[in-house]
Amino acid sequence: MKISTITVLVISAIAGLLSACKTAPKDAAQNAATTRPAEVILHAWSWSFNTIRENLSDIAAAGYTIIQTSPAQHCVTTTPEDPVGGNQIYGDGRWYYYYQPTDWKIGNYILGTREELIALCQEAAKYNLRIIVDVLPNHTAVDITKVEADLNAAVGGQQNLYHDGGFTDVIDYNDRMQCTNWMMGGLPDVNTENADFQHYFMLYINDLLECGVRGFRYDTAKHIALPSDPKDKRSAENDFWPVVMGRKPVKGLSLAIPADQLFIYGEVLQDKNVKEVEYAEYMGLTASSLGDVLRENLSHGSWLIADASDFHHPVSPEKLVTWVESHDTYCNEHVSASLSDTKIALGWVFLAARQHGTPLFYSRPDGSDGPNGNYWGNNVIGLKGNDMFKDSVVVAANRFRRLMTGLDEQISVDASGSVCQVARGDRGAAIINISDEAQVVALNTPLADGTYTDLISGSQYVVSDHQLNIAVMPLTSYILCNEK
């Protein structure tokens, strides 16, 4: 096979940086609003700080700009069903332990220490990579006896830590009072409107920033009240979001770095009566419904099942974080685990090739085989996930995203429904066959007439009279680019 110049550029990170591709300048990487069209997030799920640091070169070479860690605060290490604990993702130890905070201070047995986080952020900066941390202020550990003394003292006693309805199970998630003030999944609901708690939580947020963190994913964000939501009787006003976004101080303390210089988004899973538009006034949001649609199409091998070109969200797509799957869709009931790595990569090409949205790639556990029920693979917390984050298809899609920054998208599907084209201006297009059959298609395309190189294989294809005749293999992507 002839190796094209572009193929070499995909393989070589250094050559890529010196190529005609106009990547964001180093200074601009500090401002999420500036670089958002070319941003790509790697969710280094359950990787330790040290593991991430050891893999920074590969992550940067693969074209990511942001690395999202798992939650970094103190957490439980054992539960009644797992009284000894351990270092397994699921078994002796559990991945969801770090979603049960015992205190908002940096460091836990899964991710590592504050010093290790500092070392990670310092090394990541050398690669022009930003670290963002998953934070979860909404609840504590199920077993409240494990909540640490410093946290209880900071709020004037544990009785002040929770909402009045904080130990009542949510019955109707579409009822905003229940959704934002009651207990979700057995997790006691913190009174996030308590000024003493807000001050304590902001000390944690600012400490993360001091370590070099440059953004956050707010877990269960839709379960934290907006100013317009009904108030718990223990809350004077619903001002958590204005406080944590730096719009108002709490007890003299404010966000240490302006929010518009950070990459911040919230897990606002879509459903009825979710105030996406109001949440978007404070942060980016998750495009969970788009993920559902995309997985449905991939599962059926047809782009005609649902319209994936629509973001299925009332908020402007520039504000959305998109994914094929998240750690929740993979781990909770394994709703996305039945998709093979190959299909995940096909969906990734679709999202990364698009003009809007900030795509997030979830790193599955190393050795896992979801379609065959092996969800946890080597089943060891802290280790690197499998190598799909740097698969040649994923890397090519990330590179295409940078090359096409600023160009309008045009999405079309062939008559069979098997092949989707995501064209960007007249310079490039991703062609994605999600069926398990080969196809020969004639695609009308906005691409200028000329010869285009596939960033994955190095093969060349010709566009003539705005038509592309191409034979596509089953479950295969072609990422065509003309850098002139």
Among 133, 183, 134, 135, residue whose Cα is nearest residue 161: 183
Query: Mean pLDDT over residues 96-108, rounded?
Result: 98
Q: Each residue of 318-353: pLDDT tens digit? A: 999 999 999 999 999 999 999 999 999 999 999 999
Please state the domain extents for the chain: 25-406, 408-484
Sheet of strand 409-413: strand arrangement:
409-413, 419-424, 428-433, 476-481, 450-454, 460-464, 467-472, 439-444
Sign of dihedral through CA atoms 340, 332, 63, 477?
positive
Are the beta carbons of 463 and 450 closer than 8 angstroms?
yes
Helix/strand number for the chain, H first, E second: 15, 20
Query: Mean pLDDT over residues 266-276, rounded?
Result: 95
Q: In the 8-state DSSP scheme, what is residue 256?
A: S
**Residues forming beta bridges with residue 178, ordered by sequence position:** none
At the topology level, CATH places domain 408-484 in Immunoglobulin-like (2.60.40)
Per-residue pLDDT band at 482 (split at 50, 70, 90): confident
What pTM did the predictor assign?
A: 0.92
What per-residue confidence (pLDDT) applies to 6?
Answer: 30
What per-residue confidence (pLDDT) applies to 483?
Answer: 65
What per-residue confidence (pLDDT) applies to 38?
Answer: 87
- Second-level CATH architecture of 25-406: Alpha-Beta Barrel (3.20)
Are the beta carbons of 101 and 73 closer than 8 angstroms?
yes
Are the beta carbons of 181 and 171 closer than 8 angstroms?
no
pLDDT at 16 over 90: no
Are the beta carbons of 348 and 397 closer than 8 angstroms?
yes
Per-residue pLDDT band at 484 (split at 50, 70, 90): low
Q: Each residue of 386-435: pLDDT tens digit? A: 999 999 999 999 999 999 999 999 999 999 999 999 999 999 999 999 99
Residues 6+ apart with CB under 8 A from 156: 196
Percentage of the chain surpassing pLDDT 90?
92
Which residues are catalytically annotated? 219, 267
Query: Mean pLDDT over residues 185-194, rounded?
Result: 97
Q: Each residue of 429-452: pLDDT tens digit? A: 999 999 999 999 999 999 999 999
Q: In the 8-state DSSP scheme, what is residue 326?
A: -
Cα 54 from chain centroid (whole Å)? 21
